[in-house]
A and B are shown apart, each in its own frame.
Chain A
Amino acid sequence: EPEVTQTPSHQVTQMGQEVILRCVPISNHLYFYWYRQILGQKVEFLVSFYNNEISEKSEIFDDQFSVERPDGSNFTLKIRSTKLEDSAMYFCASMDQGAGEQYFGPGTRLTVT
């Protein structure tokens, strides 16, 4: 069964450093997402990406965040200068068509020290 994969599973970084979280969505899917979940809190939408551009972003997704689909398979989330409050689990998801079901990757646990 096709699945979304993410690397790394855990990333520890110092405040102010740049991190890149990587995702490989399911191959025939067209819509890509990043969500985050701070420990003990609900899953929150960050950004959606369709047709090689951002379709929607949340208030959390400020100028420190960017996304890219550099080739036909990878989908990345970059945080330019990490803050302590960026510590969270980051989930990538993909969907094959609008209003369909989203499938989530196993997540990257980001710890900012």
Chain B
Amino acid sequence: RKEVEQDPGPFNVPEGATVAFNCTYSNSASQSFFWYRQDCRKEPKLLMSVYSSGNEDGRFTAQLNRASQYISLLIRDSKLSDSATYLCVADSGTYKYIFGTGTRLKVLA
């Protein structure tokens, strides 16, 4: 089983749509979780940390379910500028990051 697993997509959605990405992780020692955004041939940029209580930042909401080892990201009112690859990340338990393969999102005009 992959350590961090994501649907690679692509997800093609119209502007204004709501889109949800899911991710599962296998290492029960993971304590910290993140969503990063990566544009083509650029570095990963932190989008948000993910907490058990859930957290929201504007149009973005992240949720963590430790029992199911499942992380989600919801993007509301999609913009053209949201087109990117979204990387699910779990800390290994030793402060290194384990990345998923990423989910590609394309928002269409």
Q: Which of B89-109 contact A (CB under 8 A)?
A: 91-92, 94-102
A33 and B96 in contact, given A42-B102, A99-B31, A99-B32 (Cβ under 8 angstroms): yes
- B44 CB contacts on chain A under 8 angstroms: 43, 91, 104
Q: A104 to B43, Cβ gap below 8 A?
A: yes
Give the residues from 79 to 112 in chain A that come closer than 8 angstroms, CB to CB, to chain B: 89, 91, 93, 95, 98-107, 109
Asked if B41 is at the interface (CB within 8 A of a chain A CB), the reply is yes
Bitwise interface map of A from 29 to 62 toward B, beta carbon under 8 Å scored 1, else 0 = 0010101000001111100101000011000000
Residue of B42, B44, B87, B91 ringed by the most chain A CB atoms within 10 A: B44
Contact check, B41 vs A89: say whether CB atoms are below 8 A apart: yes
Contact with B46, one of A31, A44, A45, A101 (Cβ below 8 angstroms): A101
Number of B residues, CB within 8 Å of A = 22
Main secondary structure of the interface of B (DSSP, over half): loop
Give Cα A89 to B98, complex, Å: 17
List 30 A-B residue pairs with CB atoms under 8 Å apart, sorted by A's residue number. Answer: A33-B96, A33-B97, A41-B101, A42-B87, A42-B99, A43-B44, A43-B87, A43-B97, A43-B99, A45-B92, A45-B97, A45-B98, A48-B94, A48-B95, A48-B96, A55-B94, A91-B43, A93-B97, A98-B95, A99-B91, A100-B32, A101-B34, A101-B49, A102-B97, A103-B46, A104-B44, A105-B43, A106-B43, A107-B42, A107-B43
